[in-house]
Amino acid sequence: MQDEKHYAQRSGWLRAAVLGANDGILSTASLIIGVAAASSTREPIILAGVAGIVAGALSMAAGEYVSVSSQSDIEKADLKREEEELANMPESELHELKDIYIKRGLRADTALEVAKQLTAHNALEAHARDELGMHEITQARPLQAALSSGAAFTVGGALPVLVAFLAPVNSMEYVQYAAAILFLIVLGATAARTGGSKMSTAVMRITIWGTLAMVASALIGHLFGVNVA
C-alpha cells in the first residue's frame, strides 16, 4: 500500500518560512520604493534595503522565537498539570477520556475499553492528544521557527536589493513594484504547492496585500519627498 501524503507535518516550518520570505520581499521592496520616491541616486536606496534586511531578519527571528517559546511554555505547563492529575486522580481522568470518545461517536462500553487500553499504553500521551489537542506534528519548535523565519526573510529581502542594483534609478519605484509582485506570486504558488492548498487563492491574497503595502510606501515617500541624494 502506498503511503498517504500529508501536509500538516510541514505546517510549523512552512508557516515561518512563508511569513519570513513574504515579509522579506514586501518590507524590503516597500522600504526601497519609499526611499526611491525621495531620492535621485542609487546609494541611499541600496543602503536602506541592506539595513532593512539585517534589521528585519533579526527582528523576525527574535519575534518567532519568543512567540513560539511562549506556546511551548504553555504546552509544557499543560502537560505537567495533566501528569499531576493522572497521578492524583487516575479514575477521574480515565472517565474524562471515555467521555471524549463518546462525544466522538463511540458507544459507552467501547469508549471505556479504548480509554483503558490507551491509558495502559501511555496515559499522558493519550490525554495530550485527545484532551489537550497536542500532536507531534504541531508541537511548538521555537528554534526551528526562528531559523526558518530569519533565513527566509534574508533570502526574500535580497531579491529587491538585487533589483535595486540593476534597475534604473529614475524608474526604480515601478521596476521594484513589478519585480516584487512577481516574487510574491512565485512565493505564493510555491507555498501553496508545498502545503497542498489552492494555488490561485494563495497567489491572489499575497498579490493584493503586497500591492497595498507598496502603494502606501510610495505615497509616503512622495508626501515626505525630502531629497536624500
Largest CA distance in the chain: 79
Task: Tell me the pLDDT tens digit for each residue of 164-208.
Answer: 999 898 888 889 888 988 888 888 777 777 666 677 777 777 778
DSSP 8: G
Q: In the chain, what percentage of residues exceed pLDDT 70?
A: 82
* pLDDT for residue 221 is more than 50: yes
Rounded Cα distance between 150 and 145, Å, is 8
What pLDDT score does 15 carry?
A: 66
The type of residue at 27 is S
* pLDDT for residue 227 is more than 50: no
Kind plus residue range of the DSSP H or E element containing 210 = helix 199-223
Task: Tell me the pLDDT tens digit for each residue of 104-148.
Answer: 888 888 888 888 888 888 888 888 888 777 766 566 678 887 888
* pLDDT for residue 4 is more than 50: no
Considering the entire predicted model, what is its pTM? 0.67
What are the cell numbers at 185?
Answer: 506570486
The type of residue at 16 is A
Of the candidate ranges 99-103, 129-133, 169-173, 222-226, the one whose mean pLDDT is the lowest: 222-226
Rounded Cα distance between 66 and 152, Å, is 17
Task: Tell me the pLDDT tens digit for each residue of 64-81.
Answer: 888 888 888 888 888 888
3-class SS of residue 133: coil
What are the cell numbers at 202?
Answer: 494563495
What count of residues does the chain have? 229
Q: Is 139 left (phi over 0), alpha (psi -120 to 50) or beta?
A: beta
What pLDDT score does 85 carry?
A: 84
What pLDDT score does 229 carry?
A: 38
What pLDDT score does 194 carry?
A: 67
Contact 68, 99 (CB under 8 A): no
Kind plus residue range of the DSSP H or E element containing 88 = helix 43-88
Mean pLDDT for all residues in the chain: 80
* pLDDT for residue 27 is more than 50: yes
What pLDDT score does 108 carry?
A: 87
The distance from CA 39 to its chain's CA centroid, rounded to whole angstroms, is 33
Contact 68, 140 (CB under 8 A): yes
Q: At what angle do helices 43-88 and 142-166 cross, to 10 degrees?
A: 170
Contact 172, 32 (CB under 8 A): yes
